Amino acid sequence: MSETTTVNVGTRKSPLAMAQAELVVKALQKNYPSINFEIQGMTTTGDRDQNTALYNFGGKNLWTSQLEDRLRAKELDFVVHCLKDMPTALPDGCVLGAITQREDPRDTLVIKPSLVEQHGWKTLADLPDGSVIGTSSVRRMAQLRKRYPALRFQDHRGNIQTRLRKLDEDPNLTAIILAAAGLQRMNLDSHISQFLESDNGGILWAVGQGALAVECRADDERTLGILRTLEDKQTTLACLAERNVMRTLEGGCSVPIGVETHWVDGKLRLRATVVSVEGTESVETEKSEVISTPEEAEEYGKRVALELVERGAGKILDTINAVRQPPNST
Ligand SMILES: NCc1[nH]cc(CCC(=O)O)c1CC(=O)O
């Protein structure tokens, strides 16, 4: 019998996803030098379908469900995802085996290089009225519309490299919004013009943004044991709280919920906002509490969400959900 065990690692096939899987494998390889980790990249529906509106897919998660099918079929032992792309409810038999240490969770503004050169623009505030921002995220659009009603928006898809190329080539575009984490993991952070946050005229980030999640079968004790060595406690507690804000509001990845979490003096500060698609209505809240366990983190997220509801988030979300088409209805 062979001494080496092979562990099959699944991920999407985009350059970012492959780089992320390699980061996770590299960390595990240190702890488990005799295991042979084999990365298998897979093109998912989300990668293939760049045209259908992202929210028109109903129950099935575009980026994760095909990988989860292969996980449950035991063709894969674990799957590396961006936590941000994972639904708050995992399929039966699948669990989060670990959430690793978070990269910078903020969104960033990337201004077209030729415009930076020409005008010296660096921030959202520098952009003239009518500037066109490329993004397909309703969360980013809604928050930006609220703060900068004179900006305009254009649908913008593709992997990071494609998006940067389209920014260069499309004469209509002034700038795009990308997560800092993806750019940093690909060594493309030199493109960043401004890191966005609620305190600098920017926006709040997406639930789970910047963190990697490793998913495995709930009954696979061996893999769970291996993955436990990857876990970052502060990231995990912050992300569990963020995810329960989302879960309680029953928003998928396509609703305009923004969050920010920071550990300040031993407490977890959680800011959250819900903004209408047009940016005309919004509610927000902020709390700061000592959080020590996953249960406390989830309960905390739930309370923050209920406070948003008390302030009117339910009405904003109902309006958004009412105009959505069910899948395959057209
Ligand atoms: N939906 C695409 C996606 N999913 C996760 C990231 C960024 C990396 C991360 O959050 O870990 C991105 C790209 C982006 O939003 O710019």
ipTM of the complex: 0.95
The pLDDT assigned to 59 comes to 55
pLDDT tens-place string over residues 126-168:
999 999 999 999 999 999 999 999 999 999 999 999 999 999 9
Q: Which secondary-structure segment (H or E) carries 95?
A: strand 94-99
Active site residues: 85
DSSP state of 279: S
In a domain, 194, yes or no: yes
pLDDT tens-place string over residues 161-190:
999 999 999 999 999 999 999 999 999 999
Mean pLDDT taken over the chain: 92
Q: pLDDT class for 250, splitting at 50, 70, 90?
A: confident
Cβ of residue 84 lying under 6 Å from some atom of ligand 1: yes
The pLDDT assigned to 251 comes to 59
221 and 161 part of one domain = no
90 and 133 part of one domain = no
The pLDDT assigned to 107 comes to 98
137 and 178 part of one domain = yes
CA of 34 to the centre of ligand 1 (A): 32
**CATH code of the domain containing 154:** 3.40.190.10
Mean pLDDT across the stretch 297-322? Answer: 92
Find, among 89, 179, 166, 83, the residue nearest to 140 by Cα.
Answer: 179
In a domain, 205, yes or no: no
To test ligand 1's pocket by mutation, which of 209, 232, 243, 253 has the most ligand atoms within 8 angstroms of CB? Answer: 209
Residue 61 or residue 238, greater confidence: 238
Q: pLDDT class for 329, splitting at 50, 70, 90?
A: very low
Which atom of ligand 1 is least distant from the CA of 209?
A: 10
186 and 272 part of one domain = no
The pLDDT assigned to 252 comes to 54
Cβ of residue 167 lying under 6 Å from some atom of ligand 1: no
Cβ of residue 99 lying under 6 Å from some atom of ligand 1: no
In a domain, 113, yes or no: yes
Nearest CA to ligand 1 atom 7: 182
- Cα separation values, 32 from 205, 216, 228, 230, 272, Å: 34, 17, 12, 12, 39
- CB half-sphere exposure, 29, CA atoms < 13 A: 11
To test ligand 1's pocket by mutation, which of 11, 16, 47, 214 has the most ligand atoms within 8 angstroms of CB? Answer: 16
Cβ of residue 209 lying under 6 Å from some atom of ligand 1: yes
Which atom of ligand 1 is least distant from the CA of 83?
A: 11
pLDDT tens-place string over residues 258-302:
999 999 999 999 999 999 999 999 999 999 999 999 999 999 999
Q: Find the domain containing 308 and state its range.
A: 232-330
